[in-house]
Structure 1
């Protein structure tokens, strides 16, 4: 199936209700759907629409500590977000799934056939509830389609995350044991996808319980960490997936994000697109436009955590703070050049350094999801598939769970973090557990962590999975939400104002930075060279730090409430109006 986000045909069932107190409307008879295996298969395609919007799959980290953008998300602006503006309390996907599970009982179909599709439905129910718990914490557990007179469920209280997580694990176990598919073209769920999701969910819950001691659930954190490790290990030892190495260390990771077809040796689930079917995405437009996208720019504290090619920390280099852009990009883990524009990067056969004229605020311009031909930049024309789950994540889930349990071995390290680093060209520290704390990583990101193994696993996770939609949830489960407000949005080192800078050292000047209190640079600037004002003008958020690094949005503070309310979203006010048994999340 070329595109997993299908709209069902007229012969299939459609559901339009979106709240717990609404009843679904069917446009086809149940016999049309539930009487044949082909009907079940067609219905099951509707579940995929609920994972994510295909057109938004590449925007997962739109709000993250390491992403400087042109406009702050209201969630991070003090006083700007409330129950009245909250969203996400939608239950139509769950109703669709539960209706399917209840009606999938036709005696003319064999039990293995029915259980295969029920397994798929329960996989998607687990995914749905995982997202709800991550967003809201406690939520109502509903495992049946509701009628208008089902007042107990419609107007009941929220169930505890303890119950919800137990139910999620049950659903995923059933899915793994009953889904028939063991391989796919990358766009369909297999039994291994179910285990991959189990490792993701269990890791989230185990670490959330460990670090959020206010829940009084830390005693059960280890149970979920064990489940995460066991699920990941099952994928690693019995599943068909492996790390993609086809393009060598320079391109193998990025190939996963710019290929039209999912690279199925590593990609376990993706949303795919097709020019022939006119089903396209606008990744290039979003990531390269001065006006359509957020001008997303990665920040230097994060870039600093990407290792040298020999496996040593970049921040161990003498004088790293004053290295210019070209120099800081040399001899680094090849994931750096697969993540951002670095010297030598070309678009349409032309050198393409960071674009300060219309995009980058920091100099670290992402390329992970963008095709290199500029023809894709102005509209929804991208055909590249977007991974939603890949084997690399499973390796990291295993490594982190075992590290948190204190049971990660040298062999485990070599097979997980070490393998990922080797795939990206790193030559040192891939075989044995780290023994030394990287003080920069600890001080900047995780001051409460003193275990070098946990620190390095977290480094690996933020580098390998950058921009893939994990970051905010990772910070929430580690109880490091403060980084959303505190991480410095700084960029490349600027040795002097009014100086032509050749970012990629190809012999052509690319940008000049000048005092924004002046009308322009004090030197002659050739055509085609970007001019960037530093401070001095109203609404100019481009400044320099005391160490002469670009800094963005210093004038508008980001906010993380000291009471920790942002670890959950508020339940929308209209939902509480409809059901006064719902209690609002703390401090909202």
Structure 2
């Protein structure tokens, strides 16, 4: 309150002085800030720039948690990690149903934000700031502007560069061509390097943009652009990869450890002070929070994970399921009942996907734990005990059995949406049998609609920086056991997985590896996949690696025997596998659940022009100098 009061006095004084020194016809409103009155003091800039933090969305996609429905992007639905489990909602990029939008937030929103950022940047030189303060606020503006152009480059390949605040008569910019990708990407990197060297090292206090956060964005953007240019044959991407390498190395040196509990990164009321958290989104309750926790604990959660993603998690001996002696399933196919499949695995699997369990409960709506009892099969409580141990002494609430939105006890997992099997209430269900619960917790209210969930979300964290560092090092020919120990093995210690021994990774380490990818790089990419799963990175990763074809497969659910599920359905009656309602991926009485058809079998699949998104048709009509990205029609009527 004191800061706000001082700011009002400063604005009033500045406005009065301006009125005394100018003709009365040029007076500005005394009861509100304008461009001419808002940028004099350090605190003026600080107040104006607070709004920029809202531009850092939780989701990597265009829909943020706080502004509307939970995006498919954060759950990796349009990737090889999973799918959106709702009928007729196949991945449009694989099923070739992508259309040219008339408008899209992916294009429009960044320019609205860039205008606001440019307003601040244009007023720095005329302010009362000293030179160091001017450099600091220019750095803050450059950070946010670079982030907006980074996303435009990611989605569209290039964009129109806007240096200053646009005026109505700036037709040469309003109707300009897009700046070539190489030139625009260099501008983004230049802005970030300037910010790195000129921003106040500690920013403007706790949880603000500082040198570490700038380095984290250099790490993210440098890896993205460097690998994109390399694998899309634009250039070797060396400058960007080197920028990523250097920024990541500095951060790893300064922040060599990570918070010991993976789940607490995504389900804590406060991320303040947690090791490895560089910047986070601080949500409040009472309508100023988000909907994620409620989403995950209701029937609205359609973000599904597939068997291929489950298989990516190593066993605790550091080996893939296809070669590990700790995996009790089929070493050739990876098939195993869900209890066997989850046994002896990377702890991140347990925090991201709900392990299997079953309890007896008098009714599906029972809320009295004293009435819940174990089944006659000891394996049904194996993961109940495991999760109790993993959460003991922490703030994690991922204990089993799960609680749905009204606090009612969910009797079992897998819990299929197909309700023909007597599984009880229709909450927290899955078509494939795996339930994504990365953002599940019982610490925030979810029993009514609205943005009430107040758990914080990490925006930049060392887990990402470490896998960025490892990947950039490999691409530059610099990866070593020392770098593996400082990055991947730090993350594996938290995940209870044996260390990566680089010398032991050969062509036979993972027989299911993409044979066009080096065995060591494959393992680095695996670590990235599991560390960042369900945080919205996977689609971008596949596009920058030029591996969209990884999505050209039928995504499968849990492996089961029909008779086992029929026993559940009949609750002790004689099972009849002919009554089985779910579809399996093979003939016979055992197999993996399928939901969507195989896109390749029906002649669909990823197309190369999908690596970039189409420009909206309205923009093409307004600006004749804009050209549509290759492979797309100007409008859908042009097909």
Contact 1:195 1:232 in 2 (8 A): yes
2:265 to 236, 247, 256: 256
Structure 2 CA distance for aligned equivalents of residues 228 and 193 of structure 1: 13
Counterparts in 2 of 1:23-172, with a 5 A limit? Answer: 28-52=33-57, 53-55=64-66, 60=74, 61-69=76-84, 70=86, 71-84=89-102, 87-90=105-108, 91-172=111-192
- When the two structures are superposed, what TM-score results if normalisation uses the length of structure 2? 0.75
Partner residue in 1 for 2:557:
491
Give the deviation of 1:87 after TM superposition: 4.8
Deviation string, structure 1 residues 410-460 (Cα, Å, up to 9, x no partner):
101111111111121112435766334444441xxx3421x1110000000
Residues 181, 433 of structure 1: alpha-carbon distance in 2 compared, 3 angstrom cutoff: farther
Alpha-carbon contact 2:121-2:138 (below 8 Å) kept: yes
1:306 alignment partner in structure 2:
313
Q: CA deviation at 1:312?
A: 1.2
Q: Does 1:413 align with 2:484?
A: yes
Partner of 1:396: 467
Aligned residues: CA RMSD: 3.1
Q: Which residue of 1 aligns with 2:346?
A: 333
Distance (Å, rounded) in 2 between the aligned partners of 1:314 and 1:159: 47
Q: The residue matched to 1:491 in structure 2 has which SS?
A: strand
- Give me the whole-angstrom Cα distance separating, in 1, the residues matched to 2:130 and 2:264: 41
Given the superposition, is the C-alpha separation of residues 544 and 76 from structure 1 closer, same or farther in structure 2, using an over 3 Å criterion? closer
Deviation at 1:243, TM superposition (A): 0.8
Deviation track 1:305-334 (CA, whole Å, cap 9, x = no partner) reads 101111111122463334211111111111
Q: Is the 8 A contact 1:284 1:378 kept in 2?
A: no
In structure 2, relative to structure 1, the CA distance for the partners of 1:413 and 1:93 (3 Å cut) is same
Question: By how many angstroms is 1:188 displaced?
Answer: 2.2
Structure number with larger C-alpha Rg: 2
Structure 1 residues 106-128: Cα deviation after superposition (integer angstroms, max 9, x where no partner): 44221222221221111000100
Rounded to whole Å, the distance in 2 between the matches of 1:272 and 1:500 is 46
Q: Distance in 2 between matches of 1:183 and 1:430?
A: 38
The answer to whether 1:355 aligns with 2:415 is yes
Instruction: Report if the CA contact (8 A) 1:181-1:189 is conserved.
Output: no
Q: Which ranges in structure 2 are unaligned for 5 or more consecutive residues?
A: 2-10, 13-30, 58-63, 356-382, 385-398, 418-425, 633-639
Evaluate the alpha carbon distance shift between residue 428 and residue 166 of structure 1 in structure 2; reply closer, same or farther with a 3 A threshold: closer
Give secondary structure in 2 for the equivalent of 1:297: strand
Q: Distance in 2 between matches of 1:374 and 1:46?
A: 26
Matched, 1:524 2:573: yes
Asked if the contact 1:301–1:487 (Cα under 8 Å) also holds between the matched residues in 2, the reply is no
CA distance in 2, matches of 1:433, 1:230: 27
Provide the C-alpha distance between the structure 2 equivalents of 1:395 and 1:468, rounded to a whole number of angstroms: 15
Aligned length: 521
2:520 is equivalent to residue 448 of structure 1: no
The alignment partner of 1:258 has SS state of coil
Report which stretch shifted further, 383-392 or 367-376. Answer: 367-376
Contact 1:340–1:368 (CA under 8 A) maintained in structure 2: yes
Output the CA distance in 2 between the equivalents of 1:523 and 1:436: 49
Q: Deviations over 1:330-357 (max 9, x none)?
A: 1111111111111324135956533324
Distance 2:522 2:563 in 1: 37
The answer on 1:230 being equivalent to 2:246 is yes
Question: C-alpha displacement at 1:522, in angstroms?
Answer: 10
Q: Does residue 1:242 correspond to 2:310, yes or no? A: no
Per the alignment, residue 435 of structure 1 pairs with: 506
How many angstroms does 1:65 deviate by? 2.3
